[in-house]
């Protein structure tokens, strides 16, 4: 028989293991919730509504109780991504975790994109070029689209990553840790100097210039975007009827968006939720905010954190 002291020790050991298990389960659930509800915006395709570096909270349950509506900002998986189905572990890791771990042979999953729904099943969508400017027609009616970016885009080069090498001995360095140069297009307000831009802190040395004129390279809003050298434009399409289970989505920054104009319809099964609000925002191309804090400990708080974009809800938009 166990003595009273042995029973107490056994009880304490059981409690210790039970408390540890609860802590681990709580942490795992929290990580899964954050991983599946908070999204880092990697591109400027929705500027100025959403900027690169915005951390978006997505309502994953929005479309369990409601239909996708024109005007909604939807979060979805890259429609061109192909899952590695060589093993169930690889597939599940890509689908539900997403980041790559080369040491373990685990690959990253699809990027999350944010676009605005323009047309839903049954709608007729058409794109035209009128007097050199782009126009979108929904069910025969020209859309005014006040949410579309009306400012030019400037080409810039920005660095991200932490380690300037791809391998450490026999071990591969994960892609998100590797230093790389990114060619980006950022919204630019011509009425404000580079050092005082309202959306991005753009340094002059980051600006890409024409090698002949040495002038900054801009993309002008409203102009047609060429599909190829033949002169065809991605902004001319349709009229097309959106089929069941599909949606026509476009970025608010039309000069910097790969959307339904290129790959046609978004499948409903790829939609992860509706963008609800911006949790916080960093003027950065980094995968993780800690990299900026390590590299720029003072500028992180004075320049990189966008204090005016914390807990900022998106305005509801209705497209008639």
pLDDT in tens, 131-148: 889 999 999 999 999 999
In this model, does residue 31 exceed pLDDT 50? no
Q: Which domains does the chain have, with CATH numbers?
A: 51-313 (2.10.109.10)
What does the pLDDT read at residue 195? 82
Residues 6+ apart with CB under 8 A from 315: none
pTM above 0.95, yes or no: no
- Taking the C-alpha atoms of residue 275 and residue 97, their distance in angstroms, rounded to an integer, is 20
Higher pLDDT, 76 or 225: 76
CB-CB contact of 107 with 100 (8 Å): yes
In eight-state DSSP terms, residue 85 is: -
In this model, does residue 8 exceed pLDDT 50? no
Segment 178-186 shows an average pLDDT of 90
Q: Which residues of 273-296 are buried (b: 16+ CB within 10 A; e: fewer)?
A: bbbbebbbbbbbbbbbbebbbebe
What does the pLDDT read at residue 7? 47
- Taking the C-alpha atoms of residue 232 and residue 227, their distance in angstroms, rounded to an integer, is 5
Residue 5 pLDDT class (50, 70, 90 cuts): low
CB-CB contact of 135 with 127 (8 Å): yes
In eight-state DSSP terms, residue 81 is: -
Is the dihedral angle over the CA atoms 272, 278, 279, 285 positive or is it negative? positive
Please list the alpha-helical segments (H only) found in 38-184.
Answer: 62-65, 88-96
What does the pLDDT read at residue 11? 52
What does the pLDDT read at residue 82? 84
What does the pLDDT read at residue 27? 47
Residue 17 pLDDT class (50, 70, 90 cuts): low
- Taking the C-alpha atoms of residue 17 and residue 115, their distance in angstroms, rounded to an integer, is 46
In this model, does residue 16 exceed pLDDT 70? no
Instruction: Kindly state the percentage of the chain with pLDDT values over 70.
Output: 84
Q: What is the pLDDT of residues 32-68, one digit of tens each?
A: 444 456 677 778 899 999 999 999 988 888 898 889 9
């Amino acid at each position: 028989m166990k003595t009273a002291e042995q029973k107490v020790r056994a009880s304490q050991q059981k409690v210790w293991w039970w408390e540890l298990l609860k802590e681990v389960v709580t942490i795992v659930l929290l990580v899964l919730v954050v991983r599946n509800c908070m999204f880092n915006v990697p591109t400027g395709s929705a500027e100025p509504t959403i900027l690169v570096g915005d951390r978006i909270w997505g309502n994953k349950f929005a479309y369990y109780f409601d239909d996708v509506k024109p005007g909604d900002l939807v979060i979805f998986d890259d429609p061109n991504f192909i899952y590695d189905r060589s093993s169930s572990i690889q597939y599940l890791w890509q689908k539900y975790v997403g980041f790559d771990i080369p040491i373990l042979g685990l690959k990253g999953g699809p990027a999350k994109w944010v676009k605005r729904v323009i047309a839903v099943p049954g709608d007729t969508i058409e794109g035209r070029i009128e007097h050199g400017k782009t126009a979108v027609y929904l069910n025969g009616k020209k859309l005014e689209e006040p949410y579309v970016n009306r400012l030019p885009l400037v080409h810039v080069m920005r660095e991200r990553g932490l380690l300037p090498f791809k391998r450490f001995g026999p071990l591969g360095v994960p892609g998100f840790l590797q230093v790389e140069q990114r060619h980006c297009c950022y919204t630019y307000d011509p009425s404000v100097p580079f050092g005082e831009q309202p959306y991005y802190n753009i340094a002059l040395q980051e600006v890409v210039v024409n090698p002949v004129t040495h002038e900054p390279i801009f993309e002008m809003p409203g102009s047609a975007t060429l599909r190829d050298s033949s002169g065809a434009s991605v902004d001319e399409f349709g009229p097309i009827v959106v089929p069941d289970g599909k949606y026509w989505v476009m970025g608010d920054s039309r000069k910097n968006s790969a959307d339904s104009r290129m790959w046609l319809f978004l499948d409903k099964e790829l939609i992860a939720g509706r963008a609800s609000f911006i949790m916080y925002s960093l003027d950065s191309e980094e995968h993780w905010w800690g990299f900026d804090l390590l590299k720029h400990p003072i500028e992180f708080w004075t320049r990189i954190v966008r204090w005016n974009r914390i807990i900022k809800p998106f305005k509801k938009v209705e497209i008639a």
